[in-house]
Structure 1
Amino acid sequence: MNVKSGIAKFAGKSSYWFLHNVLKGGTSFPGKLAMNLDPEILNTLAKDYETVIVTGTNGKTMTTALIVEALREKYGDVLTNPSGSNMQQGIVTAFLAHKNKKARRKIAVLEVDEANVKMVTQLVHPSVFVLTNIFRDQMDRYGEIYTTYEKIIAGIKLAPQATIIANGDASIFSSVDLPNPKIFYGFKLASDQAKNDVKAPVNTDGVLCPKCDHILHYHERIYANLGDFFCPNCDYHRPELTYSVNKIVAQSPNHLEFKMGSKNYSINVGGTYNIYNALTAYSVARHFGLSDDEVANAFAKNKRVFGRQELIDYAGKKINLILVKNPVGLDEVLHMLNTEKDDYSLVTLLNANHADGIDTSWIWDGQFEDLNHEQIKKILVGGERWHDMGFRLNVAGFDPSIMTTCPDNESVINEIAKLPTEKVYILSTYTALLSLRKTMAEQKIIKAGM
């Protein structure tokens, strides 16, 4: 470590200590400070680590958390960026914050924003890339899904020896010929699924064959553009899977049970999309030598992740706080709500800042019409763009008399206490979620930080 790196490391660690012990927060500033002093500080900090980069549109934070929990079963301490601060400065902060506890292997599992994969790869030299999925998300930042994948590929090409562990049900991930070793995972639910021939709904993105531009068909479609795809016009089809989910045993908004191989696994969150996240983590864990029992033990311990079905008790209410950020993710959350057996209240918080994506038109792709309207006894509409969401719910057929507008966080919190149901689901965009949690922390409803 040279003098410049040493100074940058000391300044970053000192600022992290002050922010977290005095101000109780700060996930990116220490990294930003260290990078200003030494732009290549991450190269120094990550030098001795086997680094796993987790990227994709949806599921990065939950998948990263599950991978870390699994690897800890076998290797003890694992470095990660648990707050979901997944751009370069947040990743530097994660290394600065790490206390280097005793571990059998020095492993870093990093959630990385799709647009930052190349930049981070140049500095950490990853041994594994984990690819979850690619959907349309924040068009102003990423563009179409093909542009997003090009950003990821640019990073992977810098590490041709790294293993790619990718969602085989996403046709885009096997569309580019790369020299890297590859492991694919996916769903195999039907024993005779090869006989099936179905298409995705007409408004689904990413269903053109990467080889000939024909519409892809599916032997089995799980959701959106994910499934056992094939092209009826050429020989393009889903790659051979190394790991797969073979059965969904049970689903509720707070629990999933599913079968991989000969063993059942469970995690304490809902949504089919989280089964994919668990399958991704399972595939990474097996690559690192974990047994099925070790993975099952890790999954049984899984904790709620910041903003990803985070449970909050307040005023006699059981609040489930869920981040939504794009059409596919929103639709899957709405499908999850339809597995709820009890009546509930719905809170929607919509912002359109840079971190959310400034275009709110994606809320029209979410099928609010499919929700069980009879179960929803009250709706609170908040966030900076509450009027957009309120209009969307009116068009979806919800009775305006059960809808209340909440112009700020204080009114959201006050109205939650008055809701007629014990169960409350909050669907929130990223900056609205951060803002609400900050206010809740100030009111001592939750602890500060993430």
Structure 2
Amino acid sequence: KNIAVLEVDEATIRHITPYIEPKLFVFTNIFRDQMDRFGEIYTTYQLMLDGAAFAPSATILANGDAPIFNSVDTPNPREYFGFNNAEDSEMMAHYNTDGVLCPHCQSILHYKSITYSNLGKYYCPKCDFKRPELNYAVTALNELSLTGSSFDIDGTSFSIPIAGLYNIYNALAAYSAAKFFGLSTEEIQEGFSKAQRVFGRQETFDVEDKEVMLNLIKNPVGFNQIVQLLSYEKEPFSLGVLLNDNPADGQDVSWIWDGDFEGLHALNAIDTAISGIRVEDLGVRMEVAGFENMKVFKTNAELIDWIRKAPTKKVNVLATYTALLDLRKDFAKEGYLKEGMNG
């Protein structure tokens, strides 16, 4: 049978659901993102639930490691996926982590394990709120590298040619949805092996003799995961960072102060360039993090020329959405990649 998979904006679900009959809603995560548009994460979640309420018989398949997805009752049946790969120990999330208050009694949540940010095996020390039982789980992390990840889901080994814990969550969500619709483990393994890097998500290509990797940044949690990803890089690299504040980027760029630029500074970058509409704000943040002697460019042409002349073979570029879009167009004009969202 044919199955349509639609990626829908959180605020748009309620406008689409009345016209279709979904069988499954997949909720992966909610972090502070485009706060000038959505407000806080609980507002975003309510928009999602408003949309799901138009199809109360459809199952909500949610990330069980995210406390927000277990915070309110829903008319929809629910299933959960998450990580069950670590031994239990006592821990708490970083003090600047959002979404770690118990929705029942407002106490600070504790954890038996944390994957990143507020995701993990949470529980409230003051009441009975805790992570729900998982229907699908990552049971082992076998290898994490800059080129891919190997892991077990429900005791079976899988690999994806894409790096990062956040992409293992994406793979787990895909596995869970596939199992919901009756696909076999072998079919899922084959699908994972064909996964491709797309627009701004570890997208790699050559600029002359330089190997360039593009990564989209747009909120603190995503930025920190890119920093974690780049920590797998063993060779020295050159670093470009671009910050815009167009509507598609989110016009409030204060999120950069919650991003781990200090962790980025601790990596192997030996030459750094910055650009974008909000380059002055970006420069201040990076100076505070310890960066020195940054090159500041006003145009993509200057940035691309810097990449050609970079002192390292590898160049990592982090950019907000519209900055990345414009930069890709200029790379395409120079013949370094094809236009379009999939390179």
Q: What's the TM-score, normalizing by structure 2?
A: 0.97
> How does 1:400-439 map onto structure 2 within 5 Å?
400=293, 403-439=294-330
Q: Which residue of 2 aligns with 1:42?
A: none
Q: Secondary structure at the match of 1:152?
A: helix
Is the CA contact (8 Å cut-off) linking 1:338 and 1:372 kept in structure 2? no
Q: Which residue of 2 aligns with 1:353?
A: 246
For 2:242 and 2:315, locate their aligned partners in 1 and report how far apart those are by CA, in whole Å: 13
Aligned AA (1:160) = P
Identity %, equivalent residues: 51
Structure 1 residue ranges without an equivalent (≥5): 1-104
The alpha-carbon distance between structure 1 residues 283 and 417, as it changes in their structure 2 partners (threshold 3 A), is same
> How does 1:49-448 map onto structure 2 within 5 Å?
105-190=1-86, 192-193=87-88, 196-371=89-264, 373=266, 375-400=268-293, 403-448=294-339
Is the CA contact (8 Å cut-off) linking 1:373 and 1:398 kept in structure 2? no
Q: How far has the Cα of 1:260 moved from its partner?
A: 1.1
- 1:38-64 per-position Cα deviation (integer Å, ceiling 9, x unaligned): xxxxxxxxxxxxxxxxxxxxxxxxxxx
Is the CA contact (8 Å cut-off) linking 2:265 and 2:289 kept in structure 1? no
Q: Secondary structure at the match of 1:371?
A: helix
- 1:2-36 per-position Cα deviation (integer Å, ceiling 9, x unaligned): xxxxxxxxxxxxxxxxxxxxxxxxxxxxxxxxxxx
Q: How far has the Cα of 1:341 moved from its partner?
A: 1.1
For 2:340 and 2:93, locate their aligned partners in 1 and report how far apart those are by CA, in whole Å: 41
Q: Secondary structure at the match of 1:440?
A: helix
For 2:138 and 2:266, locate their aligned partners in 1 and report how far apart those are by CA, in whole Å: 32
Q: What's the TM-score, normalizing by structure 1?
A: 0.74
The alpha-carbon distance between structure 1 residues 119 and 152, as it changes in their structure 2 partners (threshold 3 A), is same
For 2:189 and 2:318, locate their aligned partners in 1 and report how far apart those are by CA, in whole Å: 29
Q: Secondary structure at the match of 2:291?
A: coil
CA RMSD of aligned residues (A): 1.2
Greater helix fraction, Structure 1 or Structure 2: 1
Is the CA contact (8 Å cut-off) linking 2:220 and 2:260 kept in structure 1? no
Q: Which has the larger radius of gyration?
A: 1
Is the CA contact (8 Å cut-off) linking 2:14 and 2:54 kept in structure 1? yes
Q: Secondary structure at the match of 1:347?
A: strand
Q: How far has the Cα of 1:299 moved from its partner?
A: 0.8
Aligned AA (1:337) = L
- 1:219-264 per-position Cα deviation (integer Å, ceiling 9, x unaligned): 1111111000101111011011011111111112221111112222
For 1:309 and 1:115, locate their aligned partners in 2 and report how far apart those are by CA, in whole Å: 27
Q: Secondary structure at the match of 1:108?
A: coil
For 1:341 and 1:333, locate their aligned partners in 2 and report how far apart those are by CA, in whole Å: 15
The alpha-carbon distance between structure 1 residues 263 and 374, as it changes in their structure 2 partners (threshold 3 A), is closer
Aligned AA (1:270) = A
Tell me which stretches of 4 or more aligned residues in structure 1 moved more than 3 Å.
371-374
Q: Secondary structure at the match of 1:332?
A: helix
Aligned AA (1:130) = V
For 2:57 and 2:266, locate their aligned partners in 1 and report how far apart those are by CA, in whole Å: 52
For 2:309 and 2:257, locate their aligned partners in 1 and report how far apart those are by CA, in whole Å: 29
Q: Secondary structure at the match of 1:249?
A: strand
Q: How far has the Cα of 1:181 moved from its partner?
A: 2.1
Structure 2 residue ranges without an equivalent (≥5): none
- 1:112-163 per-position Cα deviation (integer Å, ceiling 9, x unaligned): 1111111121222311100001111111101001101011010011100111
The alpha-carbon distance between structure 1 residues 289 and 374, as it changes in their structure 2 partners (threshold 3 A), is closer
Q: How far has the Cα of 1:368 moved from its partner?
A: 1.6
